[in-house]
Amino acid sequence: MSKKHFLALCAVFSFVLSANAVKVVFRLDDPTIQYDSVHNRVLQLFMDKGVPLSIATIPCSRGEIPYEINDSSYWELLNAPTFEIALHGLTHEDINKQGEFGGLSSDETNRRFKKGLLILSQHFDKPINTFIPPYNAPNASFPENMGSNGLHILSADMFQNVPCKGSIQYYPETLGHLMKQKGIWNAAKESILKCNGKSAICVVMFHAYDLPDSTAWLQLENLLDLCNNNKKVELYTFRSLYDSGEYSNWLRYRANQLSSGLSKYLLHKGVLHPTWLCLSIHIANALVYMLIALIGIIILLVRTHSTFYRRILYISLIVVGAIIFSVAWFHLLSPLKLLLLAVLINIIPLICLVIHK
């Protein structure tokens, strides 16, 4: 592939990526229905700014004692139409360092789902369709037990294998390691500004402890203003994102976990890209490396005419064709292995040329 063609390909992808708005969901973890001054201030800020918010709510304290309403104005904020109530476990315990659900049986998982949903439904009229596991810890029985309890939206971590096959829609928090590198509010701002991608989703997960001082509060307020004033930003809760038809199934989640040389240049970190875009770039990356590998074959084709070299040529073509098919279709090899393979395929015919000069 020539430099001109490569730049043209990059331009096409850049156009595609800038076609639509980035869709942003703010996810606040760990509130309960009992009054908390920091949570109250967060809710009031989001209410004043008119920004939707998904609230990962804990039903019970440890010992499975349900929290009770002790402040009507705080409860009214939680019930605001633009806020979504999501189930955040039953007690938010870290059981055996596997989160609340990581080491539980299917029956115990189901019991905690049912009790938690029952408690929350007694305090909120709005439907509860979203589950956010404490500590983002996965459990193999999530799909089965979520489905039987009317939960069809899951939000956890983007960088671990979460069981979300079937009808479960998976909207992971997307900032990941960027939060550690840049701080949560700078990471969110950078991801949102740099990616005005077609159907890209940015999920900003945060806690009360992410707002320790006036500087952090100001950063959050500026971020909300940025989202409100940027025409290429659309704001959702998980429920409204699902209702809008912007789905994120297991295939989309897995496609976003693929990494390649081209994806580092063409895809923005901190967001969840569409499935087709991730797979297309991954396949293009495999084909670029395979084209590099074909250079050796072309040398043989141009420089040789004897039966020996024709045999080498035919064998090489068969091998390269099989590799192209396997890699492009199944995406089995990482980019570094592909590059090594490309170099080796070039070296082998060159060695043959030297030996039989």
- CB atoms inside a 10 Å sphere around CB 350: 13
Question: Would you say residue 136 has pLDDT above 50?
Answer: yes
Mean predicted confidence (pLDDT) in 51-66: 96
At 254, list the tokens.
């897995």
> Token pair 């979460």 is at which residue?
162
> Residue 173: beta bridge partners?
157
pLDDT grade, residue 41 (50/70/90)?
Answer: very high
The three-point CA angle 88-252-186 to 5° equals: 65
- pLDDT category, 16, cuts 50, 70, 90? very low
| CATH homologous superfamily for the domain 20-266 | Glycoside hydrolase/deacetylase (3.20.20.370)
State the CB neighbour count (10 A cutoff) for residue 39. 20
Residue 280 CA to residue 293 CA, distance in Å, equals 20
* pLDDT, tens digit, 9 for 90 and up, residues 174-215: 998 899 899 999 999 999 998 866 789 999 999 999 999 999
In this predicted structure, the answer to whether residue 267 has a pLDDT above a threshold of 70 is: yes
In which band, very low, low, confident or very high, does the pLDDT at 279 lie, cut at 50, 70 and 90? Answer: confident
The whole-angstrom separation of Cα 255 and Cα 272 is 9
Looking at residue 265, its pLDDT comes to 81
Domain boundaries, the chain: 20-266, 275-355
Confidence of residue 314 (pLDDT cuts 50, 70, 90): low
Which residues are paired to 65 by β-bridges? 61
Answer positive or negative: Cα dihedral of 41, 46, 47, 52.
Answer: negative
Question: Over the chain, what is the mean pLDDT?
Answer: 84
Type of residue found at 104: L
pLDDT of residue 296: 59
pLDDT of residue 299: 61
DSSP 206: E
Containing H/E element for 60? strand 60-61
